[in-house]
Amino acid sequence: MAQERYFSETLFPELEPLSIEVRPERSGTFADNLSLPVHRWFRYPAGFSALWVRQLLQRERDRGRRRVLDPFCGTGTVPLEAEYAGPEAVGLEAHPFLVRVAEAKLHWREEASLLRRAASDLVALARRLPPIAEEPSELLLRCYRPETLQRLRQLLRAWQEQVSAWPATLSALLWLALAAILRPCASVGTAQWQYVLPSKTKAQVADPFEAFLSRVELMADDMSCWQRQARDGKGRILRGDARTCEGVPAGWAELVITSPPYANDYDYADATRLELCFFGEIERWRDLQPAVRRHLIRSCTQHVSALVQETDQLLANPLLAPLQPELQATCARLEEERLLHDGRKAYHTMIAAYFLDMARSWQALRRVTAVGGLVCPVIGDSAPYGIHVPVEEWLGRLALANGFHSWRFEPLRARNVKWQNRKHRVLLQEGLLWIEG
């Protein structure tokens, strides 16, 4: 696909030029955001490209679409870009930790010098604190050297002691700086996309006090930069569920830019297990279900392990009628295939629950999207046990069944092309599902 060079002169004549390209094949990835002010504060590999969002917001703003919704907003890429580019946006997110990250990023208008001063006071206090005596969770013991963990916990204790002395904006920003250094300070592999890898050790480990101060420095620089450049847009984060879109008025959204979970067994709750353990939100793996997973779209097998006996009931739900009989046939094949594999993953239940949840999301989206609105989800298909599930087509059909007018899929990149990572040989794709209504 041809690459489109993006300079901010073309989009925002009054802003300083950016020399970063919008590369369509990277629209669905976080790669661009790693070098973009504010977006880079917390590395969230499930996020999509802020530059691509910026370009789309600009195009649609010029066509008169100024109220934007992201019902699966993750770490807030769309609401943040709306603040930068001018329109008004609401982001819904159901994962409590990610809601907190996204909300903190929206405080970029805070005074940078105040953040620097509060951070240096916090580190001074942390250095003075006596060692924290309570026994940490086993995961933390496996991920950190003892002296590193001690310092991280001193930072957290200092934050807790000071939190009521700062304005809420500052304490949220300082909390985010701490959350963002947890993985760089770990002595084991903690790539977010692959969860936590305590069996892989790292040669270089950052010191928590230094890492914290340098993260705050980066944030303060980015705040000053955006305060010079950004327009006066308005972004808001709501902790909420895309299956109801509660809190969003009927017909409010003129544009929806989003990326729902893919039906690919990725566990968004487990992906943040380290952070949740550190901040005391969970103690062990089994706490993930009540603390996080139950709020989310059912896109991983761990989420549906208690529902296997109810698969037929899920499939019989009238909201799934537009996909029958193909959905039933695919789930039956997955159920048979399951018996041939160790682990016996309940993909058949996961796929049934996933499409039911997504059908509910389309119903809710129809309610909150204005007539004539445009909906653009970034979406990828999947092939559990090598059985292809045409996610884009089925989501398109569900959108029509719920009152939208048309759908069209624009492929952006092939997935599953790295031979060594392949669990099956089905080629997968990621792209944009344009829905008009």
Ligand X SMILES: C[S@@+](CC[C@H](N)C(=O)[O-])C[C@H]1O[C@@H](n2cnc3c(N)ncnc32)[C@H](O)[C@@H]1O
Positions that interact with ligand X (CB under 6 A): 44, 46-48, 71-75, 77, 92-95, 98, 241-243, 259-261, 268, 296-297
- Nearer CB in complex with ligand X: 72/409: 72
Q: Between 268 and 409, name the residue whose CB sits nearer to ligand X.
A: 268
In the bound complex, what is the minimum distance in angstroms from residue 299's beta carbon to ligand X? 7
Say how far apart CA 76 and CA 257 lie, in whole Å. 12
| Rounded Cα–Cα distance for residues 73 and 70 (Å) | 5
- Kindly state the smallest distance separating residue 404's Cβ from ligand X, in Å: 19
CB of 294 to ligand X, least distance (A): 10
Calculate the CA dihedral of residues 206, 209, 210, 215 and round it to 10 degrees. Answer: 90
Q: What is the DSSP letter of 112?
A: H
Residues 92, 95, 101, 106: what is their CA dihedral angle, to the nearest 10 degrees?
A: 10
Minimal CB distance residue for ligand X: 74
> Which residues have CB under 8 Å from 391's CB, separation 6+?
262, 263, 379, 380, 381, 382
Q: What is the smallest separation between the CB atom of 93 and ligand X, expressed in angstroms?
A: 5
Inter-residue contact 242 to 94 (CB < 8 Å): yes
CB of 240 to ligand X, least distance (A): 6
Which two three-digit tokens encode residue 164?
């009521």
Q: Which is nearer to ligand X, 91 or 208 (CB)?
A: 91
Nearest residue (CB) to ligand X, 95 versus 183: 95
- Residue nearer to ligand X on the CB measure, 185 or 296: 296
Environment class of 87 (CB within 10 Å of its CB; exposed 0-12, middle 13-18, buried 19+): buried
Gap between the Cα atoms of 369 and 54, Å rounded: 20
**Spatial CA neighbour of 381 closest among 372, 370, 392:** 392
| Residue 25 or 217 with smaller CB distance to ligand X | 25
As measured in angstroms, the least distance from the Cβ of 45 to ligand X is 9
